[in-house]
Amino acid sequence: MIVTSLHLRNFRNYENCSVDLGPGINWITGNNAQGKTNLLESMVYLSLTRSHRINNDQQMIRKECEFARIGCDLVDDKNRKISLEAVIHGNGKSLMVNHQAVQKSSQFVGILNTVLFSPDDLGIFSDAPRERRKIMNQEIAKLSPKYLLAINHYQNLLRERNAHLKNMNPDPAYLDVLDEQMIEDEIPIIEKRRIFIQRINAHMEDIYQSIADDPVHVKAVYQGCINEEEKDLKQALQKKYQENRQRDLENRFTTTGIHRDDMVFELNDKNVIETASQGQKRMVMLAFRLADLEFIREVTGKKAVLLLDDVLSELDNSRQERLLNEIEGKCQCIITSTGMPKVMQGRHPYEIRITSGHAERAV
C-alpha cells in the first residue's frame, strides 16, 4: 500500500496543503512547531478515524474555521487507486471512500493501515492498563471489523451492567442475561488478543536484537481475565462471573472481564518498568511497532505505512543505521525530524520541507 498524496484543509495549522509522497522513505523536515507531527496525525486519522493525540476531534479544526478536511490518494497492493476523505465539523465527522459516503466507521477503518511510533509511546510502559488495551484494540480492530463490533457491543453491555449494579436491589436474573451476552462478545475478543500477542512475539525479539544490538529476551505478555491455559473460554468466563457476583454487588461495578485486561512488555522475563533503561524502552517500543507491521502483512497480505515521529533524535549513529536497514525496502515510511541526518547520505529519500503549515519538495 502506497499513499501517493495527502490533502489537508483547515486541519491544525494547515490552511490548504497538498503533499505528494514517494513509495519508499519520505523524510519530513522542518523546525519545531511547524506541523510535522500534525501531518502524521492526519494519516493516523485516515487509518483509525481518530487522533492518537487527543479525544476531541473539534480541537483539530483550524482556529476560526468551521470544518477540517483530511484526504489522501493511495494505491493498494493490487494497484487499485483509492481515495479516502474525512471531514470534521460541528456535528461530528463525515467519511468518504472513493467520493462515496460511508455510514459506519467500520467501513472506513483499516483501508489505510498505518503504524505509528511517536515519543509519547515511551509513556505506555507506566500508563494505566487502559492505554495498553487501547493499543491492542486499535491494532486488531484495523484488521477485523468483527472485533471492533464486539468491543463496541461489549462496552454497551458493560455500561448497562454497571448501571444496574448501582440499583438498590439488582435483579440476579437480569445480571445472568447480561453476563451471558457479555461472554458471547468476550470469547472472540480474547481469542483475537491471544493471536495478536503470539504473532507480535514471533518477530519482536529478533527485531529488537537487530536494531538495538542488545542480546536480551524481549516479549509482550497478554494479562487476560482468563488464564492462557484455559481452553474452554465460555466455561471459564461463566465461572469468573459467578465467583465475582457478590464482589460486584458490593462494589456496584463489574470487577472482572476483558475491560480489565492488560498487555505488558518484558526484558529477560522482567517487566520493562523494573529493569529497562530509557534507551531499551525506546528500542522495545520500536520493535513492537515493527513487529506490528509484520502482523498486518501476515493477516492481510498487505504492507502498512510506517510513520516515525522524531525517531532518530535519541538514537546513536549505529542504531540509526540499523533501524534504517531494518525498514528500508519493506514498506512506505514517513519520518519526521528537524533536518536530514548524516545517516541518510547515499540513501536518496523523498524529502519534504514543512514551514508554518506549508509543504515543499526539497531538491
Strand partners, 267: 218, 270
Mean pLDDT within 157-173 = 97
- What's the mean pLDDT in 93-117? 93
Q: What percent of the chain lies above the pLDDT cut of 70?
A: 100
Report residue 267 CA to chain centroid gap: 22
Q: Is the pLDDT of residue 347 over 80?
A: no
Q: What is the pLDDT of residue 187?
A: 97
Give dist(CA 258, CA 134) in Å, integer.
12
The DSSP secondary structure of 90-145, one letter per residue, reads TTEEEEEETTEEES-GGGTTTSS-EEEE-GGGGGGGTS-HHHHHHHHHHHHHTT-H
pLDDT of residue 236: 97
Which amino acid appears at position 226 of this protein? Answer: I
Q: What is the pTM of this model?
A: 0.93
- HSE on the CB side for 69, CA within 13 Å? 11
- Write down the pLDDT at residue 314: 85
pLDDT value for 72: 97
**pLDDT averaged over the chain?**
94
Are 76 and 94 within 8 A, CB to CB?
A: no
Q: Are 145 and 105 in contact (CB under 8 A)?
A: no
Smallest Cα–Cα separation from 10: which of 79, 64, 85? 64
Please check the confidence at residue 344 and state whether its pLDDT lies above 90: no
Q: Report whether pLDDT(363) > 80.
A: no
In sequence order, the 6+-apart residues with CB closer than 8 A to the CB of 341 are: 312, 320
The predicted model gives 95-115 an average pLDDT of: 93
For residues 350 and 328, the answer to whether their CB atoms sit within 8 Å is: no
Predicted confidence at residue 277, as pLDDT, reads: 92
The angle subtended at Cα 235 by Cα 156 and Cα 168, nearest 5°, is 45
pLDDT band at residue 182 under the 50/70/90 scheme: very high
Q: CB-based contacts of 14: which residues, under 8 Å, 6+ apart?
A: 8, 35, 38, 39, 62, 357
pLDDT tens for each residue of 276-289: 999 999 999 999 99
Phi/psi zone of residue 280: left (φ > 0), alpha (ψ -120 to 50 degrees), beta? Answer: alpha
Q: Which uninterrupted H or E stretch holds 60?
A: none
Average pLDDT over residues 335-358: 87
Nearest to 178 by CA among 154, 161, 153: 161
Q: What does the alpha-carbon distance between residue 217 and residue 275 come to, in Å, rounded to a whole number? A: 12
Per-residue model confidence as pLDDT tens digits over 128-151: 999 999 999 999 998 998 999 999
Predicted pLDDT of residue 212:
94
For range 231-248, the mean pLDDT? 96
Q: Tell me how many degrees the CA angle 92-120-314 measures, rounded to the nearest 5.
A: 145
Q: Are 28 and 93 in contact (CB under 8 A)?
A: no
Q: Give the separation between CA 354 and CA 332, rounded to whole angstroms.
A: 19
Instruction: Note the pLDDT tens digit of each residue in 184-227.
Output: 999 999 999 999 999 999 999 999 999 999 999 999 999 999 99
